[in-house]
Amino acid sequence: MPLDPVAPAAAVGGGGPSVRPRNVTMREVAERLGVSIKTVSNVLNERPNVGPATRERVQQAIRELNYRPQVGAQQMRTGTTGLITLAIPSLAGTYFSELAQAFADEAQRRRRSIMLHSTAAGREEEASVLSGFTRVLGDGVVFNPLQIGEDVVAGLDRTIQPTVFIGEHLEETGLPAGSDYVRTDNASAAEDATRHLLDLGRTHVVYLGALDVVEAQQAHSTSRLRLCGFHRAIAEAGLGEGVVQTVPTWTQEGGLGAVQTLMREHPETDGIVCGNDDLARGVLLGLRGLGIDVPGQVSVIGHDNILESPFTTPPLTTIDPDKQALAATVLDLLIERIGGYDGPPRVVEAPYRLVVRGSAG
C-alpha cells in the first residue's frame, strides 16, 4: 500500500484535539480493494455486473472505512438529493406540529429527508416557496398554503419544482402543471361528525367553533368549512339552522369559556360538534365543571385526533384526518413526480375516519 503523500487528517500528538477526519470517498474504498470506483458505485446502487465475492468485499470495506455517499456529488450527476421541502405555516400549533412529525416519519421510511421551511411570515414567504427559494436544493416541495389563495397559484402555469399542495384552499381546477393536490374535505368531515351525533339520537346539536371576530372568521377557512358541513347535516335532518356557538380562539381555554355560555343560553343542548380537539378538550372540562355528564347528557365530538385525545375524560370521539396516511399519500405522489412523472395535476381526497371513543357513542 503506497503512502499517501498528504496524510489525510493525521492525528495530532499530545493533548490537542483530534482533527476532524475528511470524508471518505468512493475512491478510497476502491483503492483499498484494488477495484475501480465504478465497481463500488455499482455495489452501492445495486447494479448488476458485480460478482458476489467482490460485492461482499466492497460492502465490508464500506463498513470498515465508514464510507457514506456525498449527496452533493449525487445531485450533480443525477439531479436529485433525496431532500423534500416541507413548507408549512408554523410548527407552533398542535395540528401542524403533529403533521410535520408525520411527514418526518414517512420521509424517513422512504429514505428521504425533510427540509423545514416555515412560511409563518405570511404572503411574501409563501410566494417565495412558489418562486423556488434562493437555492436549488430539494427535489420537490410539499406546500400547505394559508395566505396564498387560488389567484396566485392559478397564475402559475407550471411549478418550478415538483409540488404537492395540501389543504383545502385551492380549486381543483386550475392547478399548475407539475403539481398535485391532496385535499382534506373538512366540510364532509364535519358533516359526518354532526350526523354521528344525530344518529345517536341527539336532537339539539350545536357547532362550537365559529370565531367571534368576523374578520378572523373570514380568514380562517378551516373553521368556515367545518361550519358549512355542520349546516349541511343539520339541514338534511330537517332541523333548520342549528345553533352555532362562537369562540375567541381555537384553544382549550376558548372551548371552556364558550361551553359555559352555551349551556347557559341553550340548556337543551345534547350534542356539541367542536371545531377541533383543543376546543373539545376545553368543552369536556367545562361540562365536567357544570356537572353535566358526558356522554350521558351531552355528546361531544372533536376534530383532528390529536395525540392527547385518547387520554381525556371521557376519551374524545373525534374525526381523525389520519396525518400519517396523508403524509404517506403526499410523499408518494411527490416522489412519483420527482421520478419523472409529468402527467396533469392529480387531486386526491385525503381519507378521514370517525374515531368513536367515550365522549360520543
Partner DNA sequence: CGACTCTAGTTCAACGATGTACCTTGTGCC
Partner DNA sequence: GGCACAAGGTACATCGTTGAACTAGAGTCG
Residues that bind its own copies (CB under 8 A): 17-21, 23, 66, 68-76, 81-83, 86, 90-93, 97-98, 100-101, 104-105, 108, 111, 113-118, 120, 131-137, 157-160, 162, 177-178, 249, 251-253, 256, 281, 285, 289, 307-308, 311-313, 342-344
Show the cell assigned to 283.
368543552
In angstroms, the Cα distances linking 300 to 239, 352, 360 are 18, 18, 6
Of 22 and 264, which has the nearer Cβ to DNA? 22
Of 96 and 133, which has the nearer Cβ to DNA? 133
Of 7 and 76, which has the nearer Cβ to its own copies? 76
Of 44 and 285, which has the nearer Cβ to DNA? 44
Residues 6+ apart with CB under 8 A from 345: 175, 176, 177, 178, 179, 180, 181
Query: How many other CB atoms sit within 10 Å of the CB of residue 221?
Result: 15
Q: In whole angstroms, what is the distance from residue 176 CA to residue 170 CA? A: 11
Residue from 32, 44, 59, 251 in contact with DNA (CB under 7 A): 44
- For residue 90, the partner it binds in its own copies, DNA, none, with Cβ less than 5 to 8 A by kind, is its own copies
Least Å from the CB of residue 54 to DNA: 3
Least Å from the CB of residue 44 to DNA: 5
CA 78 from chain center: how many Å?
28
Least Å from the CB of residue 86 to DNA: 24
Residues 6+ apart with CB under 8 A from 47: 41
Least Å from the CB of residue 164 to DNA: 24
Q: In whole angstroms, what is the distance from residue 202 CA to residue 299 CA? A: 8
Residue from 9, 12, 19, 36 in contact with DNA (CB under 7 A): 36
- For residue 50, the partner it binds in DNA, its own copies, none, with Cβ less than 5 to 8 A by kind, is DNA
Binding span for DNA by CB under 7 A among 76-84, 172-180, 195-203, 271-279 = 76-84
- Half-sphere exposure at residue 215, Cβ-oriented, CA atoms within 13 angstroms: 0
Asked if 27 touches DNA (CB under 7 A), the answer is yes
Least Å from the CB of residue 250 to its own copies: 11
- 163 within 8 A of 220, measured Cβ to Cβ: no
Q: In whole angstroms, what is the distance from residue 60 CA to residue 171 CA? A: 53
- For residue 217, the partner it binds in DNA, its own copies, none, with Cβ less than 5 to 8 A by kind, is none
CA 249 from chain center: how many Å?
22
Of 36 and 108, which has the nearer Cβ to DNA? 36
Q: In whole angstroms, what is the distance from residue 298 CA to residue 311 CA? A: 19
Asked if 48 touches DNA (CB under 7 A), the answer is yes
Of 121 and 235, which has the nearer Cβ to its own copies? 121
- 313 within 8 A of 234, measured Cβ to Cβ: no
347 forms beta bridges with: 181
Binding span for DNA by CB under 7 A among 45-53, 235-243, 249-257, 325-333 = 45-53
Residue closest to 120 by CA, chosen among 94, 150, 88: 88
Asked if 76 touches DNA (CB under 7 A), the answer is yes
Asked if 34 touches DNA (CB under 7 A), the answer is yes
- 94 within 8 A of 306, measured Cβ to Cβ: yes
- 238 within 8 A of 199, measured Cβ to Cβ: no
Positions that interact with DNA (CB under 7 A): 22-23, 25-27, 34-39, 41-42, 44-45, 47-55, 67, 69-70, 73-74, 76-78
